[in-house]
Amino acid sequence: MHDYTHTTALVTGASKGLGEAYARELASRGAHLILVARSADALHALAGQLRAAHSVRVDVIAADLSDRRAPRTVVDAVDELGLDVDLLVNNAGVGAVGPFLGRPLEPTLQSVDVNVTALIGLVHLLGARMVERGHGGIVNVASTAAFQPMPYQAGYAATKAFVLSFTEALAEEVRGTGVRVMAAHPGATATGFFDGTTASMNPKSTDSPADVAAGTLDDFARGRSLSFPGRASQRAGVWASRLLPRTTVARLTGSLNRKAGFAEAADVGELGELDSIASREK
């Protein structure tokens, strides 16, 4: 069983939601932390709470991971702190929701930048150092959305499919080096993931961030290479997508997402724009 005590973990997207839960859970298991996200105030507030509650060192690096230079900047800041990262939790992620066409491209591009480009950038820099040292761990937070196409979350699900494929391949590349790589696939989790959009999750079918974080870290500690830290039903779609033709799966997920209202979902900032397009079309 992997022991987190006195290890140093870098958690991206630690200012709220699942990343905050990973940070809290790691601190409670004795890990020192480096918290990364854009919201410096939220990170410092969390760092203060963690230091007060646990005997751990907590540092903060404020960075915008949609900037292609961010992984280098973050690693330079880690070096300035004089720290080695033992565990990288690549958790920061964003997702556009709504139809892909006829909507601004920017949220989908942000999703690719944060979920994919920043993630592989950090793995490339920190993973190489871990292999050199002969130990370390990487947890890439993907999603159950990684396993099937998701109409109305098309770009988001595709970024998570990338994370799944990339992580599985890398885990094999580093096998035997002392470095372990795991993908975590939460299902719907009660966070502010859809904040700023008109979409929402059904509270009856969401897991708590604390449970998901604890489940992920338990799975990593057990040496697993993939983790489904949510309730069992969250995993059902994963099996369906393995058994059914891909077009059938896309129809099914499209139908589920239409029922959830995602076909009409938009960023809150876009609503005025969409109303005026709709009234022009009437």
Ligand X SMILES: NC(=O)c1ccc[n+]([C@@H]2O[C@H](COP(=O)([O-])OP(=O)(O)OC[C@H]3O[C@@H](n4cnc5c(N)ncnc54)[C@H](OP(=O)(O)O)[C@@H]3O)[C@@H](O)[C@H]2O)c1
Q: Which residues here bind ligand X, judged by CB under 6 A?
A: 13-19, 37-39, 42, 64-66, 91-95, 114, 141, 143, 186, 188-189, 191-193
Q: Are 181 and 171 in contact (CB under 8 A)?
A: yes
Beta pairing partners, 137:
87, 180
Nearer to ligand X (CB atom), residue 66 or residue 253: 66
Nearer to ligand X (CB atom), residue 15 or residue 167: 15
* Residue nearest to ligand X according to CB distances in the complex: 93
Residue 77, CA distances (Å) to 14, 55, 88 in order: 16, 22, 15
Instruction: Report the alpha-carbon angle 45-40-214, nearest 5.
Output: 60
Instruction: Compute the least distance from the CB of residue 134 to ligand X, in Å.
Output: 29
Q: Nearest CA to 145 among 133, 131, 160?
A: 160
Instruction: Compute the least distance from the CB of residue 126 to ligand X, in Å.
Output: 16
Neighbours of 86 (CB within 10 A): 19
Each residue of 131-143: b (16+ CB within 10 Å) or e? Answer: eeeeebbbbbbbb
Instruction: Compute the least distance from the CB of residue 20 to ligand X, in Å.
Output: 7
Nearer to ligand X (CB atom), residue 37 or residue 179: 37
156 among known catalytic residues: yes
Q: Which residue type, as a one-letter code, is found at position 15?
A: S
Describe the chain by its helix, strand, coil percentages, rounded to 5. Answer: 50, 15, 35
Catalytic residue among 4, 22, 152, 156: 156
In terms of residues, how long is the chain?
Answer: 282
Nearer to ligand X (CB atom), residue 134 or residue 192: 192
Nearer to ligand X (CB atom), residue 8 or residue 143: 143
Instruction: Compute the least distance from the CB of residue 193 to ligand X, in Å.
Output: 4
Instruction: Compute the least distance from the CB of residue 264 to ligand X, in Å.
Output: 19
Helix (H) or strand (E) segment spanning residue 141 = strand 136-141
Q: Could you list the active site residues?
A: 156
